[in-house]
Amino acid sequence: MGMAVKLHPLHGLWALTNRELAKWYKAPVILIISLIQPIVWLAFFGKSMNFATMFTSGLNIPGLNIPKQVIDEIASEVLKANFGTTDYFSFLAVGMLSFITLFTSLQSGMSIVWDRRLGGVLSKLLTTPVPRGGNIVMAKVLNSMIRSLVQATIVLIIAMLLGMSLNPSLNPLDILGAYAALALMSMGFASLFVTLALRSTSWESQMAIMNLLNMPLMFASNSFYPVKSMPWWLKPIAYVNPLTYVNDINRQLLLGVTGYNLLLDFTYLIAFAAIFSIIGIVLSWRYLSEA
Partner 1 sequence: MEVAIKAINLTKRYGNFTAVDHINFEVYYGEVFGFLGPNGAGKTTTIKMLTTVTRPTEGTAIINGYDVIKQPAKVRESIGVVPQEYTADEDLTGWENLMLIAALYGIPKREARERAAELLDMVELSYAADRKVETYSGGMRRRLEIAMGLINRPAILFLDEPTLGLDAQTRAAIWDYVYRLRRQYGTTIFMTTHYLEEADQYAERVAIIDHGKILAIGTPKELKEKVGGDVITIEVNGDVNTARKVIEGIDGVSGVTVNGNTITFKVRNGNTAAPPIILEALNKLSIRATSITIKEPTMDEVFLEFTGRRLRDEEGSSEEFMRFRRTVARARR
Q: Count of residues for the chain?
A: 291
Which residue in the set 32, 118, 157, 271 belongs to the binding site for partner 1 (CB under 8 A)?
118
CB neighbour burial string for 241-277, b if at least 16 within 10 angstroms, e if fewer: bbbbbbbbbbbbbbbbbebeeeeebbebbeebbeebb
Q: What is the number of H-type helices and E-type strands within the chain?
A: 14, 0
User: Under the criterion CB under 8 A, does residue 36 sit at the interface with partner 1?
Assistant: no
CA neighbours closer than 13 Å in the CB half-sphere of residue 121:
12
Give the binding range for partner 1 (CB under 8 A) out of 42-50, 92-100, 119-127, 213-221.
119-127
- Using CB under 8 A, which of the segments 38-46, 124-132, 234-242, 254-262 binds partner 1? 124-132
Distance CA 250, CA 17 (A): 27
Radius of gyration of the chain (CA): 22
Report, in Å, the least distance between residue 169 CB and partner 1. 44
173 lines the binding site for partner 1 (CB under 8 A)? no
Question: Could you tell me the smallest distance in angstroms from the CB atom of residue 189 to partner 1?
Answer: 23
**What DSSP character marks residue 220?**
T
Residue 190 Cβ vs partner 1, minimum distance, rounded to whole Å? 19
Q: Which is nearer to partner 1, 3 or 173 (CB)?
A: 3
Q: How far is the CB of 287 from partner 1 (least distance, A)?
A: 13
Q: Give the whole-angstrom CA distance, residue 277 versus residue 268.
A: 14
Select from 127, 169, 173, 263 the one that contacts partner 1 (CB under 8 A). Answer: 127
Binding residues for partner 1, per CB under 8 A? 1-3, 5, 7, 11-12, 14-16, 18-19, 22-23, 26, 118-121, 123-130, 289-291
